[in-house]
Amino acid sequence: MCGIIGCVGHHDDTLDVVLDGLETLEYRGYDSAGVALVDDSIDVQKKQGRLEALRTEIAKRDVTPTGDVGIGHTRWSTHGPPTDANAHPHTDEAGQVAVVHNGIIENYQSLRDELEAEGVTFTSDTDTEVIPHLFAAYLETDLSTELAFHRTLERIDGSYAIAAVVAGDDRIFATRNDSPLVLGIGENQYYLASDVPAFLEYTRDVVYLDDGDVAIIDADGWDVTDGDGESVDKEVSTVTWSAEQTGKSGYEHYMLKEINEQPTALRQGLSGRLDELAGDITVEELDDVGFPETVHFVACGTSYHAALYGVELFREVGVPAQAFLASEYATGPAPIPEDGLIVGVTQSGETADTLSALREAQGRGAKTLALTNVVGSTAARECDHALYIRSGPEIGVAATKTFSSQLTALNLLAETIADNTRGSRDLVLALRDVPSDIQQVLDETTAEAIVDEYVDNESFFFIGRGLHFPVALEGALKFKEITYEHAEGFASGELKHGPLALVTSNTPVFAIVTGNDERARKTIGNVKEVEARDAPVIAVTDGQSDVERYADHVLEIPETHQRTAPMLANVQLQLVAYHMANQLGRSIDKPRNLAKSVTVE
């Protein structure tokens, strides 16, 4: 993995289209980049490091690469370290075939052993390199290029999105299995990419490929077949957002832009789904979901924290629920309930671990629902139901507005499943007000000034109870993702069962305390525990309790419903992470070693 772009029909500016597409995909995370342009021969240029290094290397050349067909790739290392040799595209020995690939070829070692025994010399450590060598070997048997590509695909196992080109051929050959790939349909110009923003400047008409689809594009059009070469009818969809929405809009970082977009994102997610006068919640996508005996959430990372929040909501409305790390679900001991609902929480709808868990559940007869941001994503297409969070494009690797939108959508889901018609009027009004409440937090936050005092600390704790516990976990994750500093989230009552041994005067503790109920009072008791160890306390609070008495600093949020208070607290913690990372000079939008869409297991 991580980013693929291809185009045909651009003639003199093919290189610029490919490089600009890769630049748009930088948010996915990567450690090297490369391009291949095709005419009578294939011209490959690739380089370890950022895209700027590749552009610099190309600029040094006496002759700029040209061709009517181009493919490009940004790599996030899986097999072999980030080096020039391991960067994509990869070619066969004669340089007649070039390939870019996301995913993992699981049987690459046996294929490599076989090819090396036949005299083939490999130049990289990657699993990908077996693909161009196999493709070239089949071409040498006088098979048509299409059939040679199919024969190659028959030999490989694993997850992949592949784009391949052949010298002297003006087509791109592409396929996918468990890794996203989408076609862009223009006028005499056609594209393929791992994500729509790569070509959104040129077209918003797209075709989402399914597993097993084989696509061929050239300047005259596009064609999709199945594994047997039979034509497949594919629907052309129109993306509703524009290229401008993927820009920074004057903000220093995408992450800061997306934190500030949360009021708009939540309004989009709630639009048409709330009836304030009647106190109703109506979600058309959920009309026939029914009332499940139990709910299992499967998710990873930030989405897993949203799932933990969802578990609390479902238990409140009387539906037994559990959250599982998707990577552990299919192979773990927990039984998959045939009469239950399995909810995959995945921003991209392409997260490999989550897709595997959902497929395992479907294979055992369970009903599935994708809670996702991306219309047409694999999860949305494969699940029995899909609930879209409607956040719009999120470019920063560290999820922000999509997490808030997931929490909002989970409230809609829980209330809809609970009685299928009516929600709590108080909750409906609170959800209605969340966008303006978040705007107030954004306008009045003191997070930047507070983190100035703790920039030299090296360990940070985040604590909360009930619905605040998942937000504490998310606050810590966001902090460590972009600051590279140690941070941990805990259920407030668990500090005394071990983590308190780590608390010192150099361990700032962010405590989420809202309302004035028993949970708030118990959390204040935990705050006193860390205060007694001289740890600085930063309280995230609505002011209803007296936690301010024991805090060194306060991050205020408006008073609201107990279910929506965590959403407001979360925004303050996002700002804490952002401003600390900015103070430390970190790469906020592209944190090291991380990718936006994790499509390998």
- Catalytic residue list: 2, 596
Strand partners, 4: 73
**Residue 175 φ/ψ, nearest 5 degrees:** -160, 170
Cα angle at 33 between 32 and 39, to 5 degrees?
A: 150
The CA distance from 197 to 236, in Å, is: 16
**Residue 304 φ/ψ, nearest 5 degrees:** -65, -40
Pairing between strand 509-513 and 537-541?
A: parallel
With 0-12 / 13-18 / 19 or more C-beta atoms within 10 angstroms meaning exposed / middle / buried, residue 79 is middle
The CA distance from 468 to 405, in Å, is: 16
Distances in Å between the Cα of 276 and the Cα atoms of 411, 429, 434, 567 are 15, 6, 13, 20
The CA distance from 326 to 331, in Å, is: 9
Instruction: Kindly state the helix (H) or strand (E) to which residue 53 belongs, with its residue range.
Output: helix 51-59
The CA distance from 28 to 246, in Å, is: 13
The CA distance from 380 to 383, in Å, is: 6
CB neighbour list of residue 177: distance below 8 Å, 6 or more residues apart: 103, 158, 159, 160, 161, 211, 212
The CA distance from 405 to 258, in Å, is: 12
